[in-house]
Amino acid sequence: MQTDIQTDKAALFDILKKHAFFKEKIILSSGKESDYYIDARRVTLMSEGVYLIGKIMLDMVKDDKWDAIGGPTLGADPMIGAINAISHLDGQELKTFIIRKKPKAHGKQKQIEGPLLPDGAGVVIIDDVATTGKAFLLSLDVLRGCGFKVAKALCIVDRQEGAKEALAEKKCELVSIFTAEDFLKD
């Protein structure tokens, strides 16, 4: 018998496959050419898609010890909003954050937006698709540079092109809802 999360994952996979998976030549942000593309923002900006992602990601970290969850702008932004809303509906109040590519040039010149966290707080970082892990690695540097402990990294899809290994070298586990292999089976 399937659990609710297994049912949610199956529904999310169908949505991603229908709306975000393209078999065509494309240049990735890493500069590499690929025969396929997963445009996860097409799903993270859909109400059903982002709801399923938020629910699944919260389930993925339910047994872990962490103080806040967040990630790099722009990929993590809609997922963070969904996670916040879902947790509120479940009677929890989570702390979330967004990491800017560069510190703001005005105001308090922050690079991490969100509630203040104590030094040494444990955080989970999220993003949509991981290829080489560049966005996660930059996030790790920013967060660790501010005194936070990164407990885990989550993504919707791991393209299996080095992100998991690059994060492991930095003592951070990458866990994905799906892998590229899941989409390339057909």
Whether 15 shows a pLDDT value over 90: the answer reads: yes
* Count of CB atoms situated within 10 Å of the CB of 46: 16
User: How much is the pLDDT for 46?
Assistant: 98
Lookup: tokens for 114: 């969100």
Architecture, CATH, for domain 53-184: 3-Layer(aba) Sandwich (3.40)
Name the CA radius of gyration of the chain, rounded.
Answer: 16
User: For 1-5, 58-62, 147-151, 176-180, which range has the lowest pLDDT when averaged over its residues?
Assistant: 1-5
| Domain regions of the chain by residue span | 53-184
**For helices 47-60 and 77-89, angle between their N-to-C axes, nearest 10 degrees:** 70
Q: What is the pLDDT of residues 105-163, one digit of tens each?
A: 887 788 999 988 888 999 999 999 999 999 999 999 999 999 999 989 999 999 999 99
Lookup: tokens for 129: 């698709």
Lookup: tokens for 134: 């560049």
